Amino acid sequence: MPNKPAILAEGLQKYYGKTRALAGLDLVAEEGTVLGLLGPNGAGKTTAVRILTTLLRPDAGRAEVAGLDVVKHADTLRARIGLAGQYAAVDENLTGYENLEMFGRLYHLSGAIARRRANELLERFDLVDAARRTVKTYSGGMRRRLDLAASLIISPPVLFLDEPTTGLDPRGRLAMWEVISSLVADGTTVLLTTQYLEEADQLADQIAVVDQGRVIANGTADELKTQVGGERLELTVARGGDLDAAAQALRPFSSGEIQVNMDRRGLVVPVTQGAQLLAAVVRDLDAEQIPLDDLALRRPTLDDVFLTLTGRAATTADLPEETPADRPLVRSSR
Ligand SMILES: Nc1ncnc2c1ncn2[C@@H]1O[C@H](COP(=O)(O)OP(=O)(O)OP(=O)(O)O)[C@@H](O)[C@H]1O
Ligand SMILES: [Mg+2]
């Protein structure tokens, strides 16, 4: 018999006054997996998390977490879930270490275990040097890391992380990713919301793309990318004046609309048989005497997915630096 999913939501609706935040949201996460809720500002991600963590009642629909109904069994459920931010109301006047130890005690860990867990988490989040300082003296990023550490004190079976890496520097983000991965390896189910397309790609087994309170696409990162079809050929022409001619020359290779970026002297061409086309592209552009600065072939990013699904770009302020996931499959500079 298949296990019950760790998270199940069916037809969730929620209004704030006249604002419809959720418009029939359906979600499933199997035990020990990461479900990524990906969507722009105002999509309804936080509202969904608040309902699933019993902080808010849905107007319609139902949800179960760890087999417990989020409305009927809210009290029992609360002891089995972690939520970054919620229980992590850190005390400014205590040190980082004291805060974590206190959270451990709140969760009824023995003193020795609470202290060990506190030390582990301080290490993991790179807070060892700051451990004996009061939180008052912490930077924003350090507080954020301590908050996250506090939500992980009990290794809850189901963990909700609402934009866990927002405001973290690349190192903090990597540390967070490592922690999430190791929790999941130990069997924790994680629902994380993110506006970082690349983060969902890295971490999530399944991604639900949320827009205007409902799921508009579902699947693994690969499936979503396949939905957008093929690969992307990215070119940078040496001379801006060549852009139009290059776009013209590339039209026969393209399986969709060619994007032109004047500022970067760039072209993005959706293609179906990427690798085989490269030689032909180079040859044709040579024949037209259009020199290139760069030519790369990459799989579509989740940004491309969002654009294809909604017809508009996802809001992704301060996206992290390029990571392996963004790197092209083939790159040749000339
Ligand atoms: N307490 C509230 N009162 C009124 N409207 C709200 C409230 N909380 C959220 N909303 C509205 O509900 C919609 C969904 O908001 P929600 O916070 O769930 O989105 P989100 O996906 O988490 O966005 P973000 O990426 O900005 O965190 C938005 O239109 C928002 O303005
Ligand atoms: Mg939110």
What is the pLDDT, as a whole number, of residue 97? Answer: 97
Looking from the CA of 157 toward its CB, the CA atoms found within 13 Å total 14
Grouping H, G, I as helix, E, B as strand and the rest as coil, residue 324 is helix
Distance 43 CA to ligand 1 centre (A): 7
Q: What spacing in Å lies between the alpha carbon of 327 and ligand 2's midpoint?
A: 28
For the CA of 19, the nearest ligand? 1
Beta 68-69 vs 60-65: how paired, if at all? antiparallel
pLDDT at 237: 96
Nearest CA owner, ligand 1 atom 6: 16
Rounded distance from Cα 195 to ligand 1 centre (Å): 14
Residue nearest atom 1 of ligand 1, based on CA coordinates:
16
DSSP 8-state code for residue 240: G
CA distance 74 to 85: 18
How far does the centroid of ligand 2 lie from the alpha carbon of residue 86, in Å? 13
Interatomic CA distance for residues 237 and 223, integer angstroms: 31
Calculate how far, in angstroms, residue 194's C-alpha sits from the geometric centre of ligand 2.
8
pLDDT of residue 331: 40
CA separation for the pair 123, 40 (Å, rounded): 32
Is 7-223 in CATH node 3.40.50.170?
no
Report residue 323 as tokens. 């990571």
What is the CB < 6 Å shell around ligand 1? Answer: 16, 19, 21, 39, 41-47, 195
Element housing 135 (H / E)? none
Residues of the chain where predicted confidence (pLDDT) is lower than 50 = 86-87, 316-334
Domain locations in the chain as residue ranges: 7-223, 226-333
Rounded to the nearest whole angstrom, what is the distance from the C-alpha of residue 42 to the centroid of ligand 2?
Answer: 7
Predicted TM-score of the model (pTM): 0.78
Specify the residue with its C-alpha closest to ligand 1, atom 29.
Answer: 42
Closest to 71 in 3D by CA, of 86, 49, 56, 87? 56
Kind of pairing between the strands at 231-237 and 259-261: unpaired
According to the model, what pLDDT value does residue 85 have? 54
Which ranges constitute the DSSP H helices of the chain? 45-52, 74-78, 96-106, 111-124, 140-151, 170-185, 197-203, 221-228, 243-250, 274-287, 302-310
Determine the Cα angle at 317 with ends 197 and 244, to 5°. 85
Closest residue by Cα to atom 31, ligand 1, is 42
Residue 293 — φ and ψ, nearest 5°?
-90, -30
User: Which neighbouring-strand residues pair with 233?
Assistant: 269, 297
d(CA 100, CA 145): 12
pLDDT at 272: 82
Shortest-distance Cα residue to atom 18 of ligand 1: 44
Looking at domain 226-333, its CATH architecture is 2-Layer Sandwich (3.30)
Question: What is the pLDDT at residue 148?
Answer: 80
> Which of 12, 14, 16 has most ligand 1 atoms within 8 Å of its beta carbon, as the pocket-test mutant?
16
Give the contacts of 3 (CB within 8 A, at least 6 positions apart): 30, 31
Atom of ligand 1 nearest to the CA of 163: 27
